[in-house]
């Protein structure tokens, strides 16, 4: 014998009756929980913009560039011997290497 197909109305009304009978078994806490649930249809959320966070960084950048330019101009005005600059750089690199070796020996 072939199965009978249920109509959608019958299925929907059966689910509604089952849901209604289940609600009678809920206590007040459960009913309050489901009553406070968000709606089933999602609400459109506006897109976030992070440009406001970047504005101070953009404004501080020209100050940094201006400061670096002044530093380089000041160094170029000094009449330093290339030998003196080479010795200063080598000494700085030697200090970095020694401090790295000491740090490595501790760990």
Angle (CA) 96 97 98, round 5°: 95
Is 88 inside any structural domain?
A: yes
Residue 57's pLDDT band, with cuts at 50, 70 and 90, is low
Q: Which residue has the higher pLDDT, 16 or 101?
A: 101
Kindly report which listed range (2-16, 24-38, 48-62, 65-79) carries the lowest average pLDDT score. 2-16
* Domain contains 55: no
Structure confidence by residue, pLDDT tens digits, 17-42 = 555 555 567 888 988 898 888 878 87
Q: Which domain holds residue 106?
A: 79-107
Asked if residue 70 belongs to a domain, the reply is no
54 falls in which pLDDT band (50, 70, 90)?
A: low
> Does residue 33 form part of some domain?
no
* CA separation, residue 101 to residues 11, 22, 49, 59, 93 (Å): 79, 73, 47, 40, 12
Number of domains present in the structure of the chain: 1
């Amino acid at each position: 014998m072939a199965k009978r197909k249920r109509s959608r109305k019958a299925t929907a009304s059966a689910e509604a009756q089952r849901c209604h009978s289940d609600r009678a078994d809920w206590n007040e806490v459960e009913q309050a929980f489901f009553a406070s649930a968000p709606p089933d249809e999602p609400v459109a959320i506006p897109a976030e913009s992070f440009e406001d966070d970047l504005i101070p960084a953009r404004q501080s950048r020209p100050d940094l560039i201006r400061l670096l330019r002044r530093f380089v101009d000041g160094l170029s005005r000094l009449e330093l011997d290339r030998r003196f600059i080479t010795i200063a750089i080598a000494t700085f690199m030697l200090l970095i290497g020694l401090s790295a070796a000491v740090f490595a020996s501790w760990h």
